[in-house]
Amino acid sequence: MPLPPPLIQFLASVHPYDTLSSADLEALADLCEAKSYAVGETVFALGDKVTDLIIINEGEIEITDEVDVQLSILGPRNSFGERALLRGELASRTATVTAQATLILMPAATLFALIEKQPAVSKFFDRRRPAGRQKKDLTTLSVGQLMTHDPVTCTPDTTIRDAAAMMHEAQISSICITDVEGFKGIVTVRDMTGRVVARGADISGPVSEVMTTECLTLGPKALVTDVLHLMVERGIGHIPVVEGTDILGIVTQTDLTRAQAMSSADLVRRVARSKDAGTMARATAEIPQLLVQLVDTGNRHEVITRLITDIADTATRRLLTLAEAQLGSAPVPYLWLACGSQGRQEQAGVSDQDNCLILSDAVTDADLPYFEALAKYVCDGLDACGYFHCPGEMMASNPRWRQPLKVWRGYFEGWIKKPNPEAQMLASVMFDLRPIGGDESLWAKLHEDTLKAASANSIFTAHMIANALKHQPPLGLLRGLATIRSGEHRNHLDLKHNGVVPVVDLGRIYTLQGQLHPANTRARIEAAIMAGFLSRSGGADLLDAYDLIATTRLEHQASQIKAGEKPGNHLDPSSLSDFERSHLRDAFVVVKTMQSAVGSGKGALG
């Protein structure tokens, strides 16, 4: 039967149907059906043909996979069934009522018609499909993505001398002229040379006398291709970006050259050839702009963080080489390892350093000052390059984390046998270790033995699970988004500690339980699926959720960098569209559900 008025109003409050006109909403309601279900009833089971998209009006639905592992608990305004409908497949999961429910059933034909005719609905369900973001070439970016924001400006009556001084102080090759009416013109270094120096103009006169007023401008939505063509055709090197009468930014040949030349390979090359930490720091200072470019050109989050981590790895190895050149060859074999985000190859726009040294058991007391000096040289060099010292001193410069192999073996054995809170914290960090430079044989056997011992100790694994579940996704009542309540980041989401970290922790647990070798979070989840240790349905959902959360975090950091801000992890959810908030919430629900499954012992296959 058609939906009664209260349910029509409810449907109008659910995205993306809230974008429909009143007439379209009424027409949709006539094609939908409201149906009541009792606790314990199955809406559809694994292998069933799914004929409707189902929206929960009241009640609660449990979704389980092919081995009866809970994937999610859905409440009002959540929908399900779209996976099978959109892929033309039989149900790959089971939906069971866990609290008396009223469900709105939308026939498949009705859903497909909406997707075809309503852009907002099409966008909503396209996002649920597994296709990745389409990569874009640099030339297809918009001018607004490449331009230098907030260009240096002066008024028309500013003296030529003062305008030249402003350009010199800012180390720029042009200055834009504006007044209360908006953008008026531009003066470049070439103008200063040709119109002032060559003609002997009075430098105390107004800059308006030498500015170019009929200059070419572009809007922020123009393509970088347009800039390239205009610069080549007209022989110019500066194009102001104007919207109406407002100057928004400027694009120069330097911007284009930097963007075209910038790549992770270029930064790796420059770092690898650096003669000291200062030279290296000038290259690593460009990492934020590299992040912006990698995000804007549509690279996947795991590709971006891998490329950025490669630069940190190269910096570490180069500093080790420079240290040995200064201190002499190491007296015994050693291995430098990274943990934290570098160890997992997941570095983004902001990162401290987490590292350690494993020394050969042949080391003597007389050798220790050498490794102390080496560790200090490398850690201080990394700090100079923007990988600031770890606040918790989890670095090789701390003697505790610069020890012979036998001591490291004792560390891991002790943490596993007596998993107190400190042991849990340290083990969480150290299970992300990855060799960077030196003798890797010092790690291989220790790593293998540690994984075997950890997975065999159920008490240790239980403590590690409990520790991992301390980081919870930001979900409140009825599983809506829950923001930080007070302090500097009030009303924001922490996309690191409440977004990415919970998935990182889950990946680490799967690694311990399955004795898996990858350190990277996404690779850990994929390995757990491939090993049959994590169900394909649950694993696919977790990967999709992780991809969305990690991508949102990188896009947020890129937008901060473009706005001239320091990249961070705190996002105001009101800056997102209804579409983005809805899917981010769904992603957090998946993570929360997988945490619950791990906590109850149902998170993996037997």
Whether residue 436 is found in the same domain as residue 291: yes
Does residue 456 belong to any structural domain of this protein? no
Tokens at residue 249, please?
């930014």
CB atoms within 10 A of CB 134: 6
CB atoms within 10 A of CB 603: 25
pLDDT at residue 438, as a whole number: 95
pLDDT at residue 244, as a whole number: 87
The stretch 537-547 carries a mean pLDDT of: 91
pLDDT at residue 478, as a whole number: 54
Of 270-284, 294-308, 375-389, which gets the smallest average pLDDT? 294-308
The stretch 25-41 carries a mean pLDDT of: 91
| Residue span of the structural domain in which 17 resides | 5-126
Q: In the structure, what pLDDT confidence band is assigned to residue 606 with cuts at 50, 70 and 90?
A: very low
For the ranges 4-13, 365-374, 564-573, the one whose mean pLDDT is highest: 365-374
- DSSP bridge partners of 481: 475
pLDDT at residue 377, as a whole number: 97
Q: How many CA atoms lie within 13 A of 465 on its CB side?
A: 22
Alpha helices in 340-396 (DSSP H): 340-343, 368-384
Is pLDDT at 129 greater than 90 in this prediction? no
Whether residue 502 is found in the same domain as residue 572: yes
pLDDT at residue 389, as a whole number: 94
Q: Would you call 164 helix, strand, or coil by DSSP? A: helix
pLDDT at residue 247, as a whole number: 93
- State the virtual CA torsion across 357, 362, 366, 367 in degrees, nearest 10: -40
Does residue 111 belong to any structural domain of this protein? yes
What is the spatial distance between Cα 427 and Cα 521, in angstroms, rounded to a whole number? 16
Is pLDDT at 132 greater than 60 in this prediction? no
Q: Identify the domain boundary among 259, 281, 313.
A: 259
Does residue 318 belong to any structural domain of this protein? yes
**CATH assignment of the domain containing 245:** 3.10.580.10
The stretch 197-204 carries a mean pLDDT of: 90
Is pLDDT at 37 greater than 80 in this prediction? yes
Whether residue 240 is found in the same domain as residue 331: no
Whether residue 60 is found in the same domain as residue 89: yes
DSSP per residue, 262-329: --HHHHHHHHHT-SSHHHHHHHHTTHHHHHHHHHHTT--HHHHHHHHHHHHHHHHHHHHHHHHHHH-S
Whether residue 585 is found in the same domain as residue 522: yes
More confident residue, 90 or 104: 104
For the ranges 22-26, 299-303, 333-337, the one whose mean pLDDT is highest: 333-337
Q: Identify the domain boundary among 232, 259, 286.
A: 259
Whether residue 516 is found in the same domain as residue 542: yes
The stretch 415-430 carries a mean pLDDT of: 85
Q: In the structure, what pLDDT confidence band is assigned to residue 526 with cuts at 50, 70 and 90?
A: very high
Is pLDDT at 6 greater than 50 in this prediction? yes
Tokens at residue 383, please?
């700090």
Does residue 604 belong to any structural domain of this protein? no
Does residue 569 belong to any structural domain of this protein? yes
**CATH assignment of the domain containing 51:** 2.60.120.10
The stretch 126-131 carries a mean pLDDT of: 47
Whether residue 435 is found in the same domain as residue 489: no
The percentage of the chain sitting over the pLDDT mark of 90, rounded to a whole number, equals 48
Q: In the structure, what pLDDT confidence band is assigned to residue 67 with cuts at 50, 70 and 90?
A: low
Whether residue 63 is found in the same domain as residue 190: no
Whether residue 228 is found in the same domain as residue 278: no
pLDDT at residue 240, as a whole number: 94
Secondary structure element (H or E) that encloses residue 224, with its range = helix 224-234
- DSSP bridge partners of 103: 35, 56
Whether residue 297 is found in the same domain as residue 403: yes
Q: In the structure, what pLDDT confidence band is assigned to residue 414 with cuts at 50, 70 and 90?
A: very high
Whether residue 284 is found in the same domain as residue 235: no
Residues 6+ away with beta carbon under 8 Å from 364: 331
pLDDT at residue 86, as a whole number: 81
pLDDT at residue 139, as a whole number: 60
**CATH assignment of the domain containing 301:** 3.30.460
Q: In the structure, what pLDDT confidence band is assigned to residue 261 with cuts at 50, 70 and 90?
A: low
Does residue 28 belong to any structural domain of this protein? yes
Does residue 455 belong to any structural domain of this protein? no
pLDDT at residue 396, as a whole number: 97
Strands 52-64, 94-107: parallel, antiparallel or unpaired by DSSP?
antiparallel
CB atoms within 10 A of CB 380: 14
What's the mean pLDDT when you consider all of the chain? 87
What is the spatial distance between Cα 337 and Cα 352, in angstroms, rounded to a whole number? 15
Q: What is the pTM of this model?
A: 0.71
Q: Are 587 and 548 in contact (CB under 8 A)?
A: yes
Q: Identify the domain boundary among 239, 259, 279.
A: 259
Residue type, 534: L
More confident residue, 88 or 181: 181
pLDDT at residue 12, as a whole number: 86
Q: In the structure, what pLDDT confidence band is assigned to residue 603 with cuts at 50, 70 and 90?
A: low
Q: How many domains would you assign to the chain?
A: 4
**CATH assignment of the domain containing 554:** 1.20.120
Q: How many helices (H) and strands (E) does the chain have?
A: 24, 18
Is pLDDT at 133 greater than 70 in this prediction? no
More confident residue, 427 or 28: 28
Whether residue 152 is found in the same domain as residue 234: yes
Does residue 42 belong to any structural domain of this protein? yes
